[in-house]
A and B are shown apart, each in its own frame.
Chain A
Amino acid sequence: MSSIPYIVEERPDTGLNNSKLGVWIFLASEVMLFGGLFSAYVFLRLAAPEGDFDYWGAKLNVPMATFNTMLLITSSVTMVMSWASLKLKQFDKYKMYLGITILCALGFLFVKYFEYTGKFHHGIYPSSSTFMGIYFTLTGLHVLHIIGGLVVLIYLWTRQADKMWEENPDLLANRIEVTGLYWHFVDLVWIFLFPILYLL
């Protein structure tokens, strides 16, 4: 069976492997996806009655969101440390750092679950106001990205990773690198969502 070329080794013309180039192009499209929604946020805020966004924004839980920001930052550093561990051929440390990344992602979802259910409990839904509509859309899309990333992270933490490490360690390191790019992007989106939705 022939394998896909240049998924680990660099292509001579781009100087990159196709996996990394593909993920960066995907992330560029993601910037436009979230960019469209950020643009919608600006549009809605400009058109909203004065004080409307402040009133509804004050109903969000800043300490919970700050804690979630710290969780995502921690998961980003442990993600990159897991890649560095593979480069240093320390597979046990790789598993430990990736395990912490997975726990941070689960923690983020856990906190978000309490945030959402707290809102629903108080009768606040996406239909309650324009602010809540864009809040649930932006954070909901972000949560979907977290869940998607989490599925890949768990896969790369299972016995499949052990097998890949034995058979082709460079391939595993490459997969962790491109998964990391995606994960850092998810962190990057949250870095902007946090102040715009919770603090302004």
Chain B
Amino acid sequence: MPEPQPASSRRTPPLPDEDALVGRAVAGDRGAFARLVEHYQAACYGLAWRLLNDADQAADATQDAFVHAFDAIGGYRGGIFRSWILRITANASYDILRRAQRRPTTTLPDPTEGQPELADLNAPNPASEAARGEMFRHLDAALRRLPEDQRVAVVLCDVYGMDYHQVASLTASALGTVKSRIHRGRLRLRELLADHRELFGG
């Protein structure tokens, strides 16, 4: 499978006509729904890839999430569409993680497989973009080395901005457990990135 590519070095901004598209999608317009998920597919895939550590499983989870979202869009009650679709993606990814835990395999993931190429050499300032790309590459590599429970908690909270309660609900864990996983995950990341502190400006 070819390596996933970064959509951009910035977060996906909302579409200019997003509210209207969401309204049409809720009313059953398949084209409007397709436009929305196409816009957010890189964000969703990135979340799944970071949670699952596997490019193929991430694609499957994203696909599942789109199907679930299509089924659920009729009951969408407003809010930020990006958060809604990311929450569905996180659920789909976490379902795959749970299934994998029940059915452990002996093959270890290739730590380089599916790693995104983050440097954007066409950017206005190639040097600074390359440095950012380098930082993100180290960050993603360090995330992949976290224990799964800590990785899931840190990705959901610090990368995708969910609060403790949302993470606890999604992972069916106690609030204190989630906080502890996030704090231990952050501290472990800090250790893993100790040799690249200059990239983070810390």
* Physical interaction between A and B: no
